[in-house]
Amino acid sequence: MRIIETIAEMRKLRRESRRISLVPTMGFLHQGHQRLIAAAANRGGLTVVSIFVNPLQFGPDEDYDRYPRDLARDLVTARSAGADVVFAPAVSEMYPAGVSTTRIELGPITQVLCGRTRPIHFSGVATVVAKLFHIVGPSFAFFGAKDAQQVAVIRRMVRDLNFDVGVVRVPTVREANGLACSSRNRYLTDEERERAGTLFRALTAAERLYAEGERRQAALIDAVLTMVESAAITPEYVEIRSWDCLDPVGATLDERPVLLALAARIGRARLIDNVLLGTDLAE
Ligand code: PAF
């Protein structure tokens, strides 16, 4: 496996390669990332994993400085999952003029759900992903379904700016109690980690109600809230929106697929999770 730290070297390799699959990450790789890398490797061609903690997507009071980092361990994980190349640039390589740089703004899709409390987050994500697409030149890029809003934002950017990149959504990998794998799970104590399993149990309870025919939006959201609050977790939001554009949906759902998404703070961690209702994309 090759390790590349400069944009010039990455570009040179890109020119020599026929087809590239990209897995953008911020490192501290876990089983969810391993699944993304394996999915990318399955497509054939060159599998490139980028590891870059992107300052542009963190708000001033967020965890940029303490975000977990372990490049040596990540290299072992990436190699064993099937990566051919790790692209791990320094901040000064990606943002030589500092972080007051050109930004991609996508409008309302970035201001709902997580965007309400993280107003600059998705513009930072879109900007760094656009840069990675230009630098690495992938045919396909792989993102985890846990980050449903991120997937929606990147698909919108790809469509609006005519990137020739297929965005592949890979199912969420979960710990034994249902908690979605995330680098931020490392902020949880053992007790919090156990309690955090309630988030997915609550989502699957609503999923069951939906399968039994419940279509009232409020009833589905209430089912989630009741379970989450009974575990002494105060959610930041529990919402149902259209799964692709994140538009609001009616009080009574029709048969179109929707996203049931939540965010909650447990201890020092802010966790997100979701399920899709009414689609065979649902897990
Ligand atoms: O999902 C992540 O880890 C990041 O948001 C991404 C897509 C690598 C951009 O920094």
Residue-wise pLDDT for 108-154, tens only, equals 999 999 999 999 999 999 999 999 999 999 999 999 999 999 999 99
Q: If you average pLDDT over residues 170-176, what whole number do you get?
A: 97
Task: Please report the pLDDT score of residue 138 as a whole number.
Answer: 98
Instruction: Output the CA–CA distances (angstroms, integers) from residue 20 to 4, 153, 164, in the order listed.
Output: 15, 22, 12
Would you say 4 and 86 are in contact if contact means Cβ atoms under 8 Å apart?
yes
Note the pLDDT of residue 283.
Answer: 42
Cα–Cα distances in Å, from 37 out to 170, 189, 196, 222, 231?
10, 28, 26, 36, 34
Whether the CB of 27 sits within 6 Å of ligand 1: no
CA atoms of 162 and 173, how far apart (whole Å):
30
Q: Which of 50, 35, 39 lies closest to 89 in space, CA to CA?
A: 50
C-beta atoms surrounding 3 within 10 Å: 15
Question: Does 183 contact ligand 1 (Cβ within 6 A)?
Answer: no
Residue type, 263: A
Looking at every residue in the chain, the average pLDDT score rounds to 96
Predicted local confidence at residue 99, as pLDDT = 78
Cα 90 to middle of ligand 1, angstroms: 15
For residue 58, give the nearest of 267, 270, 274 by alpha carbon: 270
Q: What CATH class is the domain 2-170?
A: alpha beta
CATH of domain 183-276: 3.30.1300.10
- pLDDT beyond 90 at 45: yes
Q: List, for residues 266-278, the tens digit of each pLDDT value.
A: 999 999 999 999 9
Q: Where are the domains of the chain?
A: 2-170, 183-276
Mean pLDDT of 18-29: 97
Q: Give exposure, 249-269, as e/b (b: 16+ Cβ within 10 Å).
A: beeebeeeebbbbbbbebeeb
pLDDT value at residue 222: 98
Name the residue of 30, 54, 87, 132 to mutate for ligand 1: max ligand atoms within 8 A of Cβ. 54
SS3 (DSSP) at 260: strand
Q: What is the mean pLDDT of residues 57-74?
A: 96
Q: What is the mean pLDDT of residues 47-66?
A: 96
C-alpha 150 to ligand 1 mean position (Å): 8
Q: What is the pLDDT of residue 171?
A: 97
User: What percent of the chain is predicted at pLDDT more than 70?
Assistant: 99
Query: How much is the average pLDDT of 160-164?
Result: 98
100 pLDDT band, cuts 50/70/90, is: confident
Phi and psi for 242 in degrees, rounded to 5? Answer: -60, 140
Tokens, residue 138: 């992938």
Residue 280 has a pLDDT of 63
As a whole number, mean pLDDT of residues 50-70 equals: 96
CB of 54 closer than 6 angstroms to any ligand 1 atom: yes
With the most atoms of ligand 1 within 8 angstroms of its CB, the residue from 29, 127, 143, 150 to mutate is 150
Q: How far apart are the first and last CA of the chain?
A: 32
Whether 33 is catalytic? yes
Lowest mean pLDDT among 116-120, 142-146, 209-213, 254-258: 254-258
